């Protein structure tokens, strides 16, 4: 009886392990195929860190955005989203206006932007 229980437990554990490895591989494949769009946004009037915080909060609400990088001295905001959730230029400009600033140029790219700090 004990042997039967042991063999069932071993079998279940093996199935569980196989499922886990399969899930990991599938997830990795999805991540590899997931394309991202990188967006450089010029925000005019962002002259102080305490007001830039409001801008950061608003961009974090955009679907798919999990990281907002603010370069205060350059008046730039960098965000990235999955390409399936790419926001429109108009929607980004409206977010900037609603936050109390003035929108400038907005550039979309499939490659990450190089910052001054990185060079």
Positions that interact with other proteins (CB under 8 A): 42, 44-54, 56, 70-75, 97-102, 104
Shortest distance (Å) from residue 46 CB to other proteins: 6
Q: Which is nearer to other proteins, 80 or 101 (CB)?
A: 101
C-alpha 68/C-alpha 71 separation (Å) is 10
Shortest distance (Å) from residue 89 CB to other proteins: 18
Q: Which is nearer to other proteins, 25 or 97 (CB)?
A: 97
Shortest distance (Å) from residue 44 CB to other proteins: 4
Contacts of 87 (CB under 8 A, 6+ apart): 39, 62, 63, 64, 81
Helix or strand holding residue 80 (H, E): strand 76-82
């Amino acid at each position: 009886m004990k042997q039967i229980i042991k063999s069932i437990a071993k079998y279940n554990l093996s199935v569980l392990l196989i499922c886990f490895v399969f899930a990991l591989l599938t997830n990795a494949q999805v991540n590899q195929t997931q394309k991202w769009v990188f967006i450089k946004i010029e925000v005019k009037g962002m002259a102080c860190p305490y007001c830039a915080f409001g801008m950061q909060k608003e961009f974090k609400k955009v679907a798919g955005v999990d990281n907002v990088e603010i370069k205060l001295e350059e008046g730039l905001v960098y965000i990235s989203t999955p390409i399936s959730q790419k926001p429109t230029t108009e929607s980004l400009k409206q977010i900037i206006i609603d936050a109390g600033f003035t929108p400038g140029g907005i550039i979309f790219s499939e490659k990450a932007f190089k910052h001054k700090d990185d060079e």
